[in-house]
Each structure stands twice: as structure tokens, then as C-alpha cells.
Structure 1
Amino acid sequence: MDEERYQRLWHSITARVEDSGSTRWVGAVCAAVVSLVDGVDAATLTVRANSWVQETWGASDEWAASLEELQYTLGEGPGLDAFKTGNFVLAPYLSAEHARWPGFVQAVGSLGLVAVVAFPLQVGAIRLGTLDLFCRTAGRMTPDALTDAAVLADLAVYALLRQLGDPPADDPPEPDPAPSSGDLPLSYHEVHVATGMLAAHLNVELDEAFTRLRARAYAEDRPLLALARDVVARRVPLDDVDSD
């Protein structure tokens, strides 16, 4: 790795943290990506455990958060693929990816998204989540820009570990507290709660309950998070979620 590039990008992240007075290193990474990587218009950093247990810890703006939520609702997209495979995913022309992510490509057709890059965030064999980069213009990311993005993805792991409370041993400052769901730009806490409620009601495994919840959201063409909030608030009966 180019040490000068690494240090330059890391200093940019730390400067953002210091200038803002914030302890949210993950948010600083997303801001740095948008500011420093040519062709990238928005970014999200999402902590993932599997295809349905996840939380978006950083988002550069509401557009980025909405794109991340679409992946979650549909169960497909570059971020999910990067997490599943452990490989970075490059889609410089999203319109050519209908076979790969049919629902996602169709859903973002009117949202201005034309290119995506997603990097898995991992420590050894342990995957922590993904850094997803969203572009409004196709073909603008040069090889040099991709290299910067890859370095920032590595630095995102470092920042994420700080916020998770497990910084590298050679890092002297105290770790920052992990954010609560109310502090996150996009939290799926209600989805997790609704999934548990549905699993108990139907006496099924959590994975099956989540699949049914996602299917209902897809059938109604609404965000999964919005449906989950209605379920938790009892505005939507559990029997209705399971009905055809």
C-alpha cells in the first residue's frame, strides 16, 4: 500500500472529526469518501451480521440512506453481494445489471443512481459490513479514484473498530461509544423487533419470519422499515402480515 496515500486519507478523516467536534468516526469516513473520491456523490457504511440483521452507522446524506434502505427492503444489491462474497463489487453502469439485481435496478431507475461500488469491511476472515459508494454519473471513477476508495474502505474498518469500542492495540485514545439506534442515520431496530414478534406469533424461525415480512413489504411496494414500524405499533395486525 502507498503509505503516503494512506496517511493523507487518514489525516483527512481525523481532521473532519476534529473540526466537527464529533466522535462519529464512521460519519467522517462517509464524508471523506464523497469529498475526496472523484465521481462519488454519496456513501454509506453499514454494519452487517447477515442479510437482515444490519444497521447503517454512517450515511453522507438522505439520498444515500434511502438507497441503502432499498437494498435492505429488496434483499439484493451491491452492498449485500460484497458482504456475502467478501469481494468488492463494481457496477460502473448500473443499467447493465438487470440480470444481477433486477429489483434494485428497477427501483433506483428514477432516483438518479447510475453507478455503484461496494467494499466489504473485514478483519481477517470476520466481515463487519460494507462501505457503499453511489454515483450519479457513470464512468467517472478512474483507477486512481478506485485506489483511493479502496484505501478509505481499509480506513473505514479502523474507524469502525474505534466506534465499536475495539481499536487496534497501538491506538492510544479511548474508544468512542457505540451509537444507539436513535443516533444512527438509518436504524432497522423496528425491523428486528417486528421479525421477533412475527416469529413468535407464527411459531417459526426468525429467518422465515423476516422473509415473510420482506415479502409483504415488496407486495405493498413500501419500505420494509415503514411496514415494521406499523407492525410494532400494532397498526398492522400480525395476521395481516402473514396473509396472501
Structure 2
Amino acid sequence: MFEQMAARYGTHGDLCAAFLQELPLDGAAISVFGGSAAETLMCASDATAARLDELQYDLGDGPRWDVFRTHLPVMIPDLGAPGVRSWPAFAEAAAMTNAQAFLVFPLLAGGLVIGVAELYCNAPRVLSPAQVNGATRLASRTAWTLLRGLMPGSESDSAGVPLARREIHQATGMVLVQTDSTAAEALQLLRGHAFASGRSLQDTASDVVSRRLDFTPTTGAAGTDSQ
């Protein structure tokens, strides 16, 4: 049932369905930022989930932008509470939907935010610490799944250029150390950053090797460019 609902909007309904199956939610949406998939709604379980996602994009206002900036989740247990006025345009528009609680989790892979998971409930709700941990775990798993699906599987932008490929391998090793990940995950992070920034894998690798780009996780930000 959840898979059928989540497939109504987008082509990755199984990703939205996972949140609905494991958490006490009424709807979910997943959006990806950056690159050729800029602001792409990957899935939404229903019209309300799709509308909450659309409102934030159209208005340029809402918790998703804070999540993207801070890499931290935003949980609004009651959309009618005064604190929601941090996003006045979104709060006013969201009041026209049937959502009463709204939670946004970053899709984090290493230090890279590739999008958000937007979750809602039809009644005010506070998730337990265990449920928050579960949502965080699901969001991370979703991020890696999307990275593997959205990123090219080959190094075509450096094919036939041995030195370029060598630099990509060197950068992969550096990211592996910075993020305490596997080689495969480090390469996916490189591809993800290239995808999100609209640059080639080779250019991204060059920035890592020259230490203009560092994926070491830090509080509130990681994988950022230094000038």
C-alpha cells in the first residue's frame, strides 16, 4: 500500500515508502538539489507532501533552506505554533494544507547534502529520540541510494586521460581519509559534489588534491569550498 501511495508523485516511491513504513507519519516527499537534477522532486506520497515541497521552492521560504544550510534537521511538532513564524510566507501557506506537524531531514552522504526528506503528520506530533535516530538513518541511506542512482557509473569525463584518472584516484584516497569511508563511498562523494556543483569529476578531484576542497565533517558544514 505504501509503495503505491508513494509512487503517485515521482519515480522513486520506494524511498518515500520506507519513511512511512518505519515512522508514525502521514506523508513524505524527497527532493534532490543541485546539478542537472536541481530541485527535483524524486517522490511524494500524496498531494499534501508534494504541496509542502512545492511551497518551499516557490516561496524561497521554509525549513528546507535552513536544513540545506546547516546540515541539521528541522522538526516542527505543531505548524500552528508561534515559532513557525521563522518562515512567515511558508507558515501562512502551509496553514492551508492538512499538515499539522512538519519535519525536514538532510539527505547526508558523508559531508555532502544532496537534498531533503520532508515528512508530515495530520496531527501535532513530537518524535521520540529513537524515531529521530531512525529518520536520520533512513535519510542517510536514502542519500547514498540516490547518489548511486544519479551519479554516472564511469569516469567518462576523464576517460583516455591517464593523469586525470590518477588524480581522481588520489582524491578518492584523500576523501576516504577525511570522511572515514570506504573507497567506493569516497568516490561517490566526489561524484556527488561534482554533480551538485555542476562541475566535472576531474575538476572536483583537482580541488581536493590541491586542498581547495575538503570533505572533513564539521559541525554545521562539510565538503565546502575554501577560497
Identity of aligned residues (%): 33
**2:137 matched to 1:132?**
no
What secondary structure does 2:80 align onto?
helix
TM (norm. structure 2) is 0.58
How many pairs are equivalent?
149
**2:59 matched to 1:74?**
yes
Instruction: Supply the RMSD in Å over aligned alpha carbons.
Output: 2.9
Give the conservation status (yes or no) of the 8 Å contact 2:85–2:91.
no
Go from structure 1 to structure 2 and tell me whether the alpha carbon gap of 1:125 and 1:151 turns closer, same or farther (over 3 Å shift).
closer
1:72 Cα deviation after fit: 0.7
TM (norm. structure 1) is 0.54
Moved over 4 A (4+): 166-171
In structure 2, distance between residues paired with 1:163 and 1:169 = 17
Identify unmatched segments of 5+ residues in structure 2.
154-181, 186-227
Which of 84, 89, 93 matches 1:107? 93
In structure 1, distance between residues paired with 2:149 and 2:79 = 32
1:88-135 Cα offsets, whole Å, 9 max, x none, are 111112222342111111111121111111111122332211111111
Aligned to 1:120: 106
**2:166 matched to 1:142?**
no
Q: Which amino acid aligns with 1:36?
A: E
**2:30 matched to 1:45?**
yes
1:43 Cα deviation after fit: 0.8
Aligned to 1:193: none
Which of 141, 146, 162 matches 1:160? 146
Give the conservation status (yes or no) of the 8 Å contact 2:108–2:139.
no
1:169 Cα deviation after fit: 6.4
